[in-house]
Structure 1
Amino acid sequence: MLWFETLLPSLLPFMIISNLLIKTDLLKNWIRIPAGLWHRFFALSCDGAYALILGLVCGYPMGAKVTADLYLEKRISKKEAEYLLTFANHPGPSFLSSYVCLQALGQKTLILPTYGIIYLANYLCCLLFRRRADRQAIAADSDDHAENKRNEKEISIQSPVGEILDTSIMNGFESITKLGGYIILFSVFQGVIKKVFAPLGPVMYLMCGITEMTTGITALAGTGWNLTILYPMLLGITAFGGICIAAQTKSMLAGTDLSFGPYIWAKLVNFLLTGLLAFLFIEIV
């Protein structure tokens, strides 16, 4: 029901439209103007910035999916794609406000601080991994792909609109079906954890959160723990996404040769940064 009532209507249209924009090269017209901003603050090309924007607006796992699609269409280099995976795939604002702050914590006043903590930690993670990404190498790789981009644009324009639409719809349905399968699988797995590890109390709740984010957050919120412990824990798990989100992200990279390692390392770093910032906020503010 989570997949049918929430993910299907909210993510599928974005997946289809995103494919259409990438295959017709229309996305560049939307994000070409602030090109200097993407280079200065994120060391990204205009195409790479599109993955960042979709990841920010739509949440998991759209950032990873768009990154993979752009790489397969030769819009971005492999180096830029793996760099994007370290910070472009994160929870969306609607999930943070409605599910984490209102439903789980029942704290409307925490909505804006939660936005600030999650996205600040994500940007700090971006800065940490940007040192390894080598900004000039990304720009050079983008130049090397300039001719490929022009060729892809010509091919896209020459392709029948109906064919592009059919391909985009099928790609969207394949991706959203994969997400449903992973949610069902990990929900069952989480049910086993609750049965087996119930006597361990706090350990069981933590394992639920690490396994599947949404139901894990609900389980942790029901423990009655002090906000000093609960808030950093919930935000850390939200930033990490859980094993289920990691598996979904990996499935979005199918058909590419992109390394999954940078994503995992970045999420572990993000978990620690987010938890620390959330703890400092509760203690100081």
Structure 2
Amino acid sequence: MVLGGNRLNVSQLKTITLAASVTILAASLIIFPQESFEASIRGLNMWWEIVFPSLLPFFIISEMLIGFGVVKFIGVILEPLMRPLFRVPGVGGFVWAMGMASGFPAGAKLTTRLRQEKQLTQIEAERLVSFTNSSNPLFIFGAVSIGFFYNPHLGIILACAHYLGNVCVGLIMSFHGRKEESKTNTTSNKIFPIKEALSALHRTRMKEKRPIGKQLGDAVNSSIQTLLLIGGFIILFSVINKLLFHLQITPFIANALNMFFRMLMLPADLTLPFISGLFEITLGSQMTSGVNSATLLQQAVIISFVLGFSGFSVQAQVASILAQSDIRFRPFFIARIIHGIAAAIITILIWKPIYVKFYQDKPSNAVPVFNNLDWHFWEQAFLRMKEWGPVFTLISLMIYIILYMFRIRENSKV
């Protein structure tokens, strides 16, 4: 194939493909306006009810902890643990904990922030971001287990598989880039170097010249800007997922996967939820819960893979955050495939020892009878989030606008 007398190279082919894809997307928006609008509203509701209020406090607190030197302190303490296991500095322990508590894409944001401050090398940052992006417990228990399956005990299986899968990814990705990095061993010989950690905390705080008020304002601005970006991706991929279904692209891919699913002894009805989950985990999980021809174990395996893979929506969010530094996206994408496979395998391995043994597994789609005390906390937390989330989001956006106006006013005076 030629273009302008020359052979069509990869770059030109990529340009044509991207242009054609965007054109088809724009035409689809015109052809399916009602469906696109409904998908956009669904993505917006998810963002301002759940994502924004659940992530903003973690983002702001994380920024302040980094500025005050607490993260550096934790890094020195955890160095003897994180370095041998995952070949990352001790600060990775903080990122890992915050990533599990707050969910996607907190791990990517914190890793990028630490890379910008030179607390991580490029290779270390690529290792760290690969296993510190995970779904938070509120989503696994509140949205998936209780919201979709009405079964809190399933959340224990999904959470164990998800977080153990993250550990497997961290151990595997510790081999990433060993040839590229320096062979210098930076592991501390001290088990608990408290004095060294306190010294690092003080030095970090003294290097920070901004007053506390300025740090807090910058933390709020940075966090809300990131969450606005995340919201845009959630809405965009919600619309794309809906349009792909109406364009018969998703059903076509699902039909192509039917034979592969039969080889894995999975019902063909799970292929469409699986494809949808590859784009957006919430929709994929909801669709999987409605497949009556599948057993609960088969549904759990699909959801575990989808949660580990994270979906293209989350991956696009991570890619946009990593683009602010020199951290490459490819290792992260490979890690998501590994995480999905590992989580699915772990689900199968722990199903009988944990779910069947302790929770008296019911027939495939029977709604289990369970004690309200087991799931009451997660249900209430999820319902409270949906009830007060929009109010919290609107108040935070108003604060962001005020701070942004003050910043513009200060810059105009300079």
Q: TM-score, normalised by structure 2?
A: 0.62
2-structure distance, mates of 1:120, 1:199:
32
* Counterpart pick for 2:240 among 182, 185, 189: 189
Aligned match of 1:215: 283
Q: 1:141–1:248: structure 2 CA closer, same or farther, 3 Å change rule?
A: farther
- Name the amino acid aligned to 1:191: K
After TM superposition, the structure 1 stretch with the greater mean CA deviation from structure 2, 122-131 or 200-209, is: 200-209
1-structure distance, mates of 2:247, 2:71:
49
CA contact (8 A) 2:75 2:89 kept: no
2-structure distance, mates of 1:161, 1:185:
36
Map 1:96-111 → 2, pairs under 5 A = 96-111=140-155
* Counterpart pick for 2:323 among 249, 254, 264: 254
SS at match of 2:66: helix
Aligned match of 1:57: 101
SS at match of 1:184: helix
* Counterpart pick for 1:178 among 214, 225, 229: 229
Q: CA deviation at 1:139?
A: 6.6
Q: CA deviation at 1:195?
A: 2.2
1:17 equivalenced with 2:72 (yes/no): no
Runs of 4+ in structure 1 off by over 6 angstroms are 148-151
Q: CA deviation at 1:153?
A: 4.6
Q: CA deviation at 1:196?
A: 2.9
- Name the amino acid aligned to 2:149: L
1-structure distance, mates of 2:184, 2:105:
26
Q: CA deviation at 1:266?
A: 0.6
1:265 equivalenced with 2:334 (yes/no): yes
Percent of counterpart pairs with the same letter?
26
1-structure distance, mates of 2:93, 2:184:
13
1-structure distance, mates of 2:171, 2:144:
26
Q: 1:110–1:205: structure 2 CA closer, same or farther, 3 Å change rule?
A: closer
Whose radius of gyration is greater, 1 or 2? 2
1:240 equivalenced with 2:309 (yes/no): yes
CA contact (8 A) 2:277 2:283 kept: yes
CA displacement 1:230-249 (0-9 Å, x = unmatched)? 11001110111100010011
Aligned match of 1:82: 126
- Name the amino acid aligned to 2:272: M
1:127 equivalenced with 2:160 (yes/no): no
2-structure distance, mates of 1:129, 1:34:
19
CA displacement 1:61-80 (0-9 Å, x = unmatched)? 00111000111111222121
Q: CA deviation at 1:28?
A: 3.0
After TM superposition, the structure 1 stretch with the greater mean CA deviation from structure 2, 124-133 or 65-74, is: 124-133
RMSD of Structure 2 on Structure 1 (CA) = 2.7
2-structure distance, mates of 1:188, 1:34:
42
- Name the amino acid aligned to 2:106: M
CA contact (8 A) 1:205 1:220 kept: yes
CA contact (8 A) 2:146 2:152 kept: yes
2-structure distance, mates of 1:128, 1:259:
17
2-structure distance, mates of 1:162, 1:14:
18
1:168 equivalenced with 2:208 (yes/no): no
2-structure distance, mates of 1:33, 1:257:
27
Q: TM-score, normalised by structure 1?
A: 0.88
Q: CA deviation at 1:6?
A: 0.9
1-structure distance, mates of 2:187, 2:121:
6
2-structure distance, mates of 1:28, 1:275:
35
Q: CA deviation at 1:106?
A: 2.3
